[in-house]
Amino acid sequence: MSVQGEIEGVSLSMDGLRELAARVFAEMEHGAVVWLEGELGAGKTTFVQLLVEEAGGQSASSPSFSLVNDYPTGSGDVYHADCYRLRSEEEAVDLDLWGLSRIARLLLVEWPTRAGDNVPPPTLRIIFAHVGDPARRSVQVKRC
């Protein structure tokens, strides 16, 4: 399952999500920006946790006062920003996502459209959705 081409709405189990996360980390170039999209509970943060684990970083979590989580890995830092709570695009200025994209091994952004022009355009979009089976998620991958 390469992420260089498009993946159209496949239904993945947790193991499948883990495999996808490993692929994204392995195949995305240094500084790639990955937009994680989908409604609440669709699997975006779980995907981040899996990717960080696969990258050899520490497990992702949501510390109360972080704006952007930084996970050092052997090949550079994976940054994870969640724009879920932003009230306006202007609030994303303080996140400095453009600056982070210049130094990141990977920049993962949840709810990216809430940041407007303050988030760099995606190298890869991953769109998550619920399916009938709560243990699986529909995943669409678009190389941009």
Footprint of other proteins (CB under 8 A): 39-40, 45, 62-67, 82, 84-88, 90-96, 111, 114
C-beta of 115 vs 126, nearer to other proteins: 115
Tokens of 88: 């306006």
Comparing C-alpha atoms, which of 67, 69, 46 is closest to residue 57? 69
Closest approach of Cβ 11 to other proteins, in Å? 22
Nearer to other proteins, 46 or 73 (CB): 46
Nearer to other proteins, 8 or 39 (CB): 39
> Whole-angstrom Cα distance, residue 47 to residue 36?
9
Least distance in Å: CB of 68 to other proteins? 10
> Considering the complex, what minimum distance in angstroms separates the CB of residue 51 from other proteins?
18
Query: What is the rounded radius of gyration, in angstroms, for the C-alpha atoms of the chain?
Result: 14
Nearest to 142 by CA among 43, 19, 14, 24: 24
